Amino acid sequence: MNGLVTLAGWTVLHALWQGALVAAGAAVLLRLGRGARPGFRYGVALGALFLVTLLATATALALARWPAGPGLVDAAGGAAAAGQGAIAGSAATAAVVLGALWLLGAALGLSRWCAGIARVRRLRARGVAAPARWRSLAGRLGRRLSAPPARLLVVDGLDSPGAVGWRAPAVLVPRAVLEALPAAQVARLIAHELLHVRRRDYLANAAQALVEALLFFHPATWWLAHSARIEREHCCDDGAAALSGDPVTYARALVSLEALRGRAHAFVPGAGGGSLVERVGRLAAGVPARQVPRARAAVAVAGTVAALAALGSAALPPSAVLAAATRGPEGTPLVRIQARDPAGAFTLTLRGNRALAATIDGTPVPSERLRHHSDSLRILTASGATSFTVHVRPDGSGISWDARPPGPTTPQT
């Protein structure tokens, strides 16, 4: 369990810089795409959000390739470039704390995610079939929009229309909407939800909410998720307005809906997302969306991917360290270190600045070949030559070593 906690902590640390880089790339693309079709902007925001998740998952899997151990510190920065590895006990402790906090926050987030899914299912179960004339209208609209067949359900107590379900989609409509709004406005609102059904937004929104639960600690997650929700609504707003060619009526429907609704449900696409003023303003302005020049977009995407690849390789170098730190009966640090350099892997078990055991590429090193000299430890080969030297801090809280070069010239144990 301790290994899982620390692995989570170091994954969180890497996810922080990875998410910041991805968000910066997304900001560039969104800046280039000002005034572009909302579908482009939605793809950028949602794609960036899932890219952060993919990078965090790949990082965790890369770190998990090590043998079981509670913490990982990579030989980062100039130390890695100079062929040195280093670890401090405080860094391992920080990773444990971060990992514990993430596990707690993720557990709470996943609980809320599951509760949200269950709440939407209860809403759908409470729904009753809409009157025949509204079902007929929804059927005609669905065929015009090429949307999958969806049930139209009336739900008492719902604050706003919403599209739910993936394999068997349904549009939930508050009874107050059918009773209080003009038929033309109701038709536009239903068309908006059918567009969510056609785009499979319920599935995308549920996956997005899951990502938010797992990456709750990163501000980039909040911004990208918020941007995706806004652009998702803009996509369906534009489609609903274009269906009738009368954006003013649809804008009035949004204003009337706002007067009826209260709290939105996060798992129901269409139940919330975006500022009412902004959405109505876009419809009233009627400014045609421009296309983003493909060359500029391609250059921005390629630059972002190249930067991610470069920084990713720097963040997970071949020289890395796993460490588990405990305290002996008298408070003396007992540290187990697993490390890798270009020549292969080795492990050390230290009490203070004394090595109790060592292995090189899985082969135990006899104790007589562990030579201590002040704050350094020489590990000898069978012939008595020095395989490599490890420098140990006097209090046993950290080590550094001269990375062994790869190839057949590496002394064998």
Q: What is the pLDDT of residues 178-234, one digit of tens each?
A: 988 999 999 999 999 999 999 999 999 999 999 999 999 999 999 999 999 999 999
**Residue 72 CA to chain centroid, in angstroms?**
20
The H or E element that residue 295 is part of is: helix 294-315
Nearest CA among 343, 347, 320, 332 for reference residue 394: 332
Q: b vs e for 15-35, b when ≥16 Cβ sit within 10 Å of the residue's Cβ?
A: bbebbebbbebbbbbbebbee
Which alpha helices (H) appear in 181-293, and where do they start and end? 183-198, 201-214, 219-244, 247-260, 276-285
User: Could you identify the residue written with the tokens 């460490």?
Assistant: 323
Using the predicted structure, report yes or no on whether residue 328 has a pLDDT greater than 60. Answer: no
pLDDT score for 248:
84
Q: Which two tokens stand for residue 31?
A: 């800046």
Beta-carbon contacts of 364 under 8 Å, excluding residues fewer than 6 positions away, are 357, 358
What's this model's pTM, rounded to 2 decimal places? Answer: 0.69
Which helix (DSSP H) or strand (DSSP E) does residue 371 occupy?
strand 370-373
**Do the beta carbons of residue 243 and residue 191 sit within 8 Å?**
yes
The CA distance from 394 to 340, in Å, is 23
Tokens at 232, concatenated: 């998702």
Tell me which DSSP letter residue 36 carries.
B
Q: What is the mean pLDDT of residues 70-76?
A: 35
Q: Which of 1-10, 50-59, 189-198, 292-301 bottoms out in mean pLDDT, i.e. has the lowest?
A: 292-301
Query: Does the structure show a pLDDT above 80 at 87?
Result: no
248-277: per-residue pLDDT in tens?
888 888 888 887 765 445 555 544 555 666
Average pLDDT of the segment spanning 62-89: 42
For the ranges 20-24, 150-154, 293-297, the lowest mean pLDDT is seen at 293-297
